[in-house]
Structure 1
Amino acid sequence: MKESLQIDNLKVEVYETSDAMGMAAADFVQEKLSAAIEEKGSANIILATGASQFKFLKALKERVIDWHKITVFHLDEYQGISDTHPASFRKYLKDRILDAVQPKEVHFLNGDADDLETEMDRYAEILQKHPIDIACIGIGENAHIAFNDPPVADFKDQKLVKSVILDEACRKQQLGEGWFPSLDEVPERALTLTIPAIMACKAISCVVPDERKAEAVYNTLNNEINTDVPATILRRHEQTRMFLDTASATNL
């Protein structure tokens, strides 16, 4: 570790490389999962997607974890695309970790369901029955968490899952990461866990590499806690750890 700091309740760790960052986050998540399994015989986890999670998921897949006792959820999914679409978050997680580790259960949020209201209610009901031991998240270039972009972020949301309009900065990020061939093909809407759903998790691992996230990281740690910078809410969670590399910590 290069350095560590604490902002309000949020513990922040900076690593020299994204590989070291990913391994440290995997160790943290392994520790939380193992403690939950030891305490109650099972664990529940939320996994994130996107380019920022590559190194972390690779490291997590290599950890010795009793996945047969773990139930997996995920943060969000685009509306209107199937689980075979190259940008589908369901496909992302199957390809990068789930097919390899074979968890006890996996609950996907189906963005192409025929009845999205019913689908959101279904997912929220399952979430309520599985208190989450650790959520693995990132933050966007606009400092969103999940798909709670600044225009739709609500710290007091009454729902656990909702349908949102993606703002332009978010859609440009998805294009820039190479998930879609053109901005026109980036969906305008998505289903997402809300901020209260994420904040209700017992622990949160927030992995944020790359210089393109440096401004969002700075704003998250320095701005007033409000929905203009949704990730600032993480500073109120007592069991959140943010993992950075030197590039994402450039502005600190």
Structure 2
Amino acid sequence: MAVSSYIETDRIILPLRETNGPDGIRICVLPTEAQTAIFAARSIINIPIHKPDATVTFATGNTMVQPYAELARLTATMGVRWSDIRMNHLDEYGGASANDPESFARYLRERVTVPLGIINAHFMNGTADNLEHEAARYESLLTPADLVILGIGPGGHIGFNEPQTPFDSRTHVVQLSEETVSRDTARGQTKRTHAITQGIGNITEAAQILLIAYGKQKAEYLRPVLYNDITPDCPASALRLPGVGPKVSLLLDCEAAAWLNL
């Protein structure tokens, strides 16, 4: 996936800075959150254009709202077809039904599969009687993705892979950290203690990985990812493993890049 510029109202949006970071990771810094989101959407839409039957793993969360809205707009404007794309689900809360307003399955239906017209969508079942069995079922469906879209959370977590998750982990059930639970409940969400997530091994075997981040808080998360040791203490540091770094693009606004050595 080549990171591309995007022309909006005759104005070219290009990174303020584009450089190779530690271990071959590509870092693109955009002026604002909105421009980063547009740039991300233009990068993502290259997938169905150049490989119509690709497999894409979609993350959720506040970071992805703007890129997915722009992706839907671009899809309609450009007439891009997603009907042969396979969509995979990165993670899901245990106990969240497909129609729960807090479920990632619902988020993806509303912002990705319906607006883009994706038919071949594979969702995790957060209300399965046995989450371990559900994780195994989902793992059996997976093949290496052509693109994984990621955000980043406290402690460098990606998906729901919390610190100390093995780098070779596959789809599994995770007990959420106290920090994650507290953050979610502080937002007014239901208290949930477990989740299903694709493992770090699933993520790093993808052909391309796109991580999007905005804001000063994300800068705090990113600096140890890029400059500290590669260790399960920081799950996202796995993006610097041998053979993985050159597949990774970080799309950041100026605030998220503020503490990086660029």
Query: What TM-score comes out, normalization by structure 2 length?
Result: 0.86
Structure 1: which 5+ runs fail to align? none
Distance 2:24 2:234 in 1: 17
- Of residues 211, 222, 236, the one that matches 1:217 is 222
Distance 2:188 2:249 in 1: 27
Distance 2:17 2:26 in 1: 11
Residue 112 (1) aligns with residue 123 (2): no
Matches within 5 A, 1:166-185: 166-176=176-186, 178=187, 180=189, 185=190
- Of residues 143, 149, 155, the one that matches 2:156 is 143
Look up the match of 2:5.
none
- Of residues 68, 72, 76, the one that matches 2:87 is 72
- Do 1:48 and 1:138's aligned partners in 2 also have CA atoms closer than 8 Å? yes
Q: 1:61 to 1:214 in 2, by over 3 A?
A: same
Distance 1:205 1:16 in 2: 18
Look up the match of 2:174.
164
Look up the match of 2:254.
246
> How far apart are 1:111 and its partner, in Å?
1.2
> How far apart are 1:48 and its partner, in Å?
0.3
- Of residues 10, 19, 22, the one that matches 1:5 is 19
Residue 86 (1) aligns with residue 133 (2): no
> How far apart are 1:141 and its partner, in Å?
2.3
Residue 23 (1) aligns with residue 38 (2): yes
Distance 2:101 2:118 in 1: 22
SS state at 1:13 partner: strand
SS state at 1:213 partner: helix
Structure 2: which 5+ runs fail to align? 1-14
Which deviates more from structure 2 when the two are superposed, residues 49-58 or residues 92-101? 92-101
Distance 1:21 1:83 in 2: 30
After superposition, the C-alpha distances for 1:170-200 in whole angstroms (9 at most, x for unaligned) are: 2233345x361xxxx3211100000000011
- Between 1 and 2, higher relative CO (CA 8 Å, sep ≥ 6) is seen in 1
Structure 1: which 4+ aligned runs deviate by more than 6 Å? none
Distance 2:249 2:141 in 1: 26
- Do 1:83 and 1:90's aligned partners in 2 also have CA atoms closer than 8 Å? yes
Distance 2:24 2:238 in 1: 10
- Do 2:135 and 2:172's aligned partners in 1 also have CA atoms closer than 8 Å? yes
Distance 1:234 1:139 in 2: 12
Which deviates more from structure 2 when the two are superposed, residues 189-198 or residues 53-62? 53-62
> How far apart are 1:132 and its partner, in Å?
1.2
SS state at 2:83 partner: helix
- Do 1:33 and 1:134's aligned partners in 2 also have CA atoms closer than 8 Å? no
> How far apart are 1:93 and its partner, in Å?
1.0
> How far apart are 1:21 and its partner, in Å?
0.7
Look up the match of 2:137.
122
What's the RMSD between the two structures over aligned residues? 1.5
Look up the match of 2:3.
none
Query: What TM-score comes out, normalization by structure 1 length?
Result: 0.89
> How far apart are 1:247 and its partner, in Å?
1.7
- Do 1:46 and 1:72's aligned partners in 2 also have CA atoms closer than 8 Å? yes
Distance 1:188 1:136 in 2: 24
Distance 1:116 1:188 in 2: 12
Q: 1:175 to 1:12 in 2, by over 3 A?
A: farther
- Do 2:157 and 2:163's aligned partners in 1 also have CA atoms closer than 8 Å? yes
